Amino acid sequence: MISFFGKKNNEAKPAAEPEEKQGFFSRMRDAVTRTRESFSTRINDLVAMTREVDESALEDLEAALLTSDIGVQTTTEILDALRERAKRQAIDGGAELKQLLKEQLLAILEAPITQQAIPAEPPRVTFLVGVNGTGKTTTSGKLAAWLRDQNRSVLLCAADTFRAAAIEQLEVWAARSGVEMIKTRQGGDPAAVLYDAASAAKARKVDEVLVDTAGRLHTKSGLMDELEKMRRTAAKLVPGAPHEVLLVLDATTGQNGLQQARQFTQAAGVTGIVLTKLDGTAKGGIAVAIARELKLPVRFVGVGEQMGDLLEFDPAAFVDALLG
């Protein structure tokens, strides 16, 4: 897997300890429990009953996938690929069908993953965008702690100046994760606070600036204009910034979240997704639809409300957790 922070991160922290790895897989498995129950029960039953993979078995699989949050377009593509494969070479029973399905899902999830650009000079600037309530502020705080664990120095920028509560909430996260935060008063100019944060980070050679942005203004175009202004401000101070724009998406909104994501993707230059609230939802299949339809990599998943409840997304672990 290509890590969110590329090689440098791997050098700083070599291969995960087996125990740590074990913990990661079991946490991913726990997080998708409800998705697995709804998604794979039907598929596993079908696989167990299938001796011969004919058109009717493929239609049953199609029906099972259509009821998940993978969506019509992605399901159709997966089935087209399986039919194509069956034409070339017969699929030898349910077990092979399941294996091929896993390969398809993995290929879809891996396709949009790109090597992360680490700027030659710090800081690296990451915007967190998305509508209110998706978990943007919580994710900013968790990500700050995650980066600290990777030995990266972090500065949080409270640019959601629209909501006073967001600034206070982020302050609590900053204290918890032991990172500094730059803020302004409620209603202050988000581009101005970003300017301050980026300047401070440059002067102090901080590795990472995480910018928590507003989720809703009076009008949607107002929100997008504000993001655009922030992009320009960041780029003026730090070449190539923002290096990452992470769209925070609530997994429980399933296919509706995709529509939201499309709007942000066009206007805000989104480079990756953080899929929150994966715990407790059966709609985790949305990760596959995001990768396929938006051509965006899922970078992280939120699996709870606590500081450690953010996992770097690993397509293979996810597919294994889903289909066993």
The answer to whether 277 contacts ligand GDP (rule: CB under 6 A) is yes
| Alpha-carbon gap, residue 178 to 241, rounded angstroms | 24
Q: Which of residues 184-223 bind ligand GDP (CB under 6 A)?
A: 215
- 215-246 per-residue burial string, b: 16 or more CB within 10 A, e: under 16: beeeeeeebbebbeebbebbeebbeebbbbbb
Size of the site for ligand GDP (CB under 6 A): 20
Three-state DSSP state, 13: coil
The answer to whether 136 contacts ligand GDP (rule: CB under 6 A) is yes
Q: Which is nearer to ligand GDP, 61 or 311 (CB)?
A: 311
The answer to whether 35 contacts ligand GDP (rule: CB under 6 A) is no
Q: Which is nearer to ligand GDP, 46 or 143 (CB)?
A: 143
Q: Which is nearer to ligand GDP, 244 or 250 (CB)?
A: 250
Locus of tokens 């928590």:
212
Region from 10-18, 85-93, 187-195, 273-281 binding ligand GDP, contact rule CB under 6 A: 273-281
Site string (63-102) toward ligand GDP, x via CB under 6 A: ----------------------------------------
Nearest-CA neighbor of 292 among 76, 36, 40, 111?
111
The answer to whether 302 contacts ligand GDP (rule: CB under 6 A) is yes
What is the three-state SS of 97-153?
A: HHHHHHHHHHHHHHCCCCCCCCCCCCCEEEEEECCCCCCHHHHHHHHHHHHHHCCCC
The answer to whether 276 contacts ligand GDP (rule: CB under 6 A) is yes
Q: Where are the alpha helices (DSSP H) in 184-298?
A: 190-204, 220-237, 254-268, 286-289
The answer to whether 23 contacts ligand GDP (rule: CB under 6 A) is no
Q: Which is nearer to ligand GDP, 123 or 130 (CB)?
A: 130
| Alpha-carbon gap, residue 41 to 98, rounded angstroms | 12
The answer to whether 279 contacts ligand GDP (rule: CB under 6 A) is yes
Residue type, position 209, single letter = V
Shortest Cβ 139–ligand GDP spacing (Å): 6
Q: Which is nearer to ligand GDP, 34 or 229 (CB)?
A: 34
| Alpha-carbon gap, residue 21 to 13, rounded angstroms | 13
**Binding residues vs ligand GDP (CB under 6 A):** 130, 132-138, 166, 169, 215, 276-277, 279-280, 302-305, 309
